[in-house]
Amino acid sequence: MSNCDSTSNTAASGRRSRSVRVRRMTDDAPACPECSQPLKSGGLVLTKRDEDGRRTCRSLWRCAGRHTWWQWADRPAEPLEVCPVPELFR
């Protein structure tokens, strides 16, 4: 038996032991304001905010209906805005 086998995280039943921590995403994805389908995160986009001149990230969101939205990552309470250049994020 090798050292790897003796330190396995799998219990005799085939299940992972409780000491293994699993991080899961929440199902709190926003709904598309246009078609109400769940949005999927498309990552972050670094942009310059005209209002204060700061370089800040926008969260990019897409739905199955091909609508693309974004919002300021540091202002999650603000509403989603239509992304003006969705073709850049395919």
Q: Mean pLDDT in each 10-residue stretch from start to end of the chain (90 residues)? A: 46 50 56 94 94 95 94 94 90
1: in domain: no
Instruction: Please give the residue range of the domain that contains residue 77.
Output: 25-89
Predicted pLDDT at 12? 53
Q: Is residue 16 part of a domain?
A: no
Kindly state whether residue 10 falls inside one of the protein's structural domains: no
Q: What is the pLDDT of residue 15?
A: 53
Could you give the number of structural domains in the chain? 1
Give residue 30's pLDDT: 86
Residue 24 has what pLDDT? Answer: 42
Any domain includes 19? no
Task: Note the pLDDT of residue 50.
Answer: 95
Residue with tokens 């969260």: 59
pTM, two decimals, is 0.65
- Determine, yes or no, domain membership for 83: yes
Identify whether 11 is part of a domain. no
